[in-house]
Structure 1
């Protein structure tokens, strides 16, 4: 098997490099929205740090016939075992970001998850990502809105619905509160000054227009000002998503159903009982509960107990190919990352999605060569327990 060539900008070979560049090109209020975690941001830190405690054993003298990074998930084979996590207000962080990432997902054959509160519509992302588009649902308080979103997803031929359960209330993120970006963004003099020192961001924002919640636009009456929009979001999406609500969606949705935000065995057991197809072990990137544990901590136990009953996926804290390998070694079937792809787009614009996917492919390939994994299912045997 010949070794593939991964082409990406050699000036930015890591997520840390992309993050530094993006920080210079994005206004502070937008970067703080992307970067911030809940309360003291301890769980944000734990998410990344705890991956470093997962170690893999290299095997250098074994026969090795090459690397196959492809992963089968829900009847589709992807070119790599990672996808792009949903992030709200992506177009605020970098203009046209959802479209950039959707195109890259199609090119590289990896999944892209569109958020309910992203700045591109269900229909637009379906057109760009085609069969690689998934959708993350913030469960509405009104069933009529839920049902209409499901109708649009079906008509746009989405195969996978991801129901978010870890937002019974919006997280207290101090960076966003100080910047007036708690949800939705407020335009202040300070934010205007921050935008002025990022001219490329400002020009592209003018060209693409002020970002809005494109998927939700049909459900908003008239032109809402900032205060009215905030009230709409709180009235429409604040509330606990319990097992009964998920069961109702399972009855309505005939595609694959994934529950995102599960970290406990109790919740995972309920997901199995409902008949969902998988979970994403996630703590919302450390944005919802600061007192919780990192996602890599419960992954192994959840995979061992429930891996034969449904697909086990993970996001929150992954920042490299080695982190993807560590996740697979702990039993994950698939992985997702959010912030790294937005760093890529923020740093490199239209080339950011393509670059970041290629970079992760190169990193994962190198890890698989080192530990002598020919396929992803070989990873668990390399875990040092």
Structure 2
């Protein structure tokens, strides 16, 4: 048996197994917030389905000397070619989820990305990761707030800033609308009942406390109630992040700068012109535009044209080690996943981060052995082209 398989719970060998368990363990409103996509969720479905069309060629008679997943990215050598995507309100899905995942990421030497609207603060995650974390910036409408967030990131030594550009408006997510969810969710009678029938979640939430926007807390009034907090979020983070806004950040930020949400040539060329160090091909996990493409489709065209000019990464839709391999074969330098890690923590609590990382490592190793890739940079040589 693969030694990596011994490191995680054999009852949950796949993302689908973790997802089923997570759904049993957390309230419906929390699961719907995590799971939902925009409008009719067609792009959410396409994100996963289109990966299935990417095929790899197994090679069995070629000599193989073992697998090395290490990947250099922005001067740091990570132990695997995947990282943890940012998700807002992670503490809603499972209490202290950002801290659980950050600890697991630093233990396994992969990147963890903290969201502006996460439930742990910049300073706390920096403490847990010895500052080896990435930060995803929801660009505020107030430049002073933006500058103070950058100051805090610089103060703790955050090496990589991810500027999110795909939220000029918040997506219409019907699951959340039907459930009466807001940012953060209101604890109405229906949601209270849903929480009561998930005792493990409820007890852990009581122990840890109600989740809050920890990074943004210094900028909020002390007496904000939940309805006012929703208004604060809409007023503070609604608006287009255009080239001028990215340039202002590039001029100020001395660390690595990644632009997330790039899916077309025009935005790629502008990212290069602005001096970005990397881009993440992403459609926000299918949560912003239902009529858009899956991420794997534009990735192939962008890597063909711009691989020698830009570090190109991908998230949205990856659910397995084979999906990681497919992405690398299509030219991605690195991959990120969000929901799978939240399934892991919601299903297994404190063990969820370690389990999910070990699971993906084992799956990817098996794929590399089948297609005779000794290093992750070998994947493009096994892509089956149509």
How high is the TM-score relative to the length of structure 2?
A: 0.98
Indicate the residue corresponding to 1:300 in structure 2.
300
Asked if the contact 1:105–1:132 (Cα under 8 Å) also holds between the matched residues in 2, the reply is: no
Give the whole-Å Cα distance in 1 for the aligned partners of 2:308 and 2:18.
Answer: 37
Q: Which moved more, 1:104-113 or 1:301-310?
A: 301-310
The CA deviation at 1:180 is 1.7
The CA deviation at 1:3 is 7.1
Give the whole-Å Cα distance in 1 for the aligned partners of 2:195 and 2:184.
Answer: 17
Give the whole-Å Cα distance in 2 for the aligned partners of 1:242 and 1:285.
Answer: 21
Deviating beyond 3 angstroms after TM superposition, the runs of 4 or more aligned structure 1 residues are: 2-6
Whether 1:271 and 2:271 are equivalent positions in the alignment is yes
Give the whole-Å Cα distance in 2 for the aligned partners of 1:155 and 1:309.
Answer: 30
Indicate the residue corresponding to 2:80 in structure 1.
80
1:87-126 to 2 correspondence within 5 Å?
87-126=87-126
Indicate the residue corresponding to 2:251 in structure 1.
251
Q: 1:276 to 1:122 in 2, by over 3 A?
A: same
Indicate the residue corresponding to 2:214 in structure 1.
214
Q: Which moved more, 1:220-229 or 1:36-45?
A: 220-229
Aligned pairs, number? 384
The CA deviation at 1:223 is 2.0
Could you list the runs of 5+ residues in structure 1 that have no partner in the other structure?
A: none
Whether 1:163 and 2:163 are equivalent positions in the alignment is yes
Indicate the residue corresponding to 1:49 in structure 2.
49
Asked if the contact 1:110–1:132 (Cα under 8 Å) also holds between the matched residues in 2, the reply is: no
The CA deviation at 1:82 is 0.2
Whether 1:310 and 2:310 are equivalent positions in the alignment is yes
Give the whole-Å Cα distance in 2 for the aligned partners of 1:10 and 1:3.
Answer: 12
Indicate the residue corresponding to 1:381 in structure 2.
381
Indicate the residue corresponding to 2:145 in structure 1.
145
Give the whole-Å Cα distance in 1 for the aligned partners of 2:181 and 2:158.
Answer: 31
Indicate the residue corresponding to 2:135 in structure 1.
135
Indicate the residue corresponding to 2:359 in structure 1.
359
The CA deviation at 1:6 is 5.3
The CA deviation at 1:353 is 0.2
Asked if the contact 2:126–2:133 (Cα under 8 Å) also holds between the matched residues in 1, the reply is: yes
Could you give the per-residue CA deviations for residues 47-91 of structure 1, whole angstroms, max 9, x where no partner exists?
A: 000000000000000011111001000000000000000000000
The CA deviation at 1:168 is 0.3
Whether 1:187 and 2:194 are equivalent positions in the alignment is no
1:278-297 to 2 correspondence within 5 Å?
278-297=278-297
Q: 1:150 to 1:129 in 2, by over 3 A?
A: same
The CA deviation at 1:269 is 0.4
The CA deviation at 1:306 is 1.4
Give the whole-Å Cα distance in 1 for the aligned partners of 2:140 and 2:125.
Answer: 21
Secondary structure at the aligned position of 2:56 is classed as coil
Q: 1:3 to 1:21 in 2, by over 3 A?
A: closer
Q: 1:5 to 1:200 in 2, by over 3 A?
A: closer
Asked if the contact 2:258–2:277 (Cα under 8 Å) also holds between the matched residues in 1, the reply is: yes
Asked if the contact 1:35–1:339 (Cα under 8 Å) also holds between the matched residues in 2, the reply is: yes
Could you give the per-residue CA deviations for residues 263-315 of structure 1, whole angstroms, max 9, x where no partner exists?
A: 01100100000000000000000000000010000001111211111210000
Give the whole-Å Cα distance in 2 for the aligned partners of 1:191 and 1:221.
Answer: 25
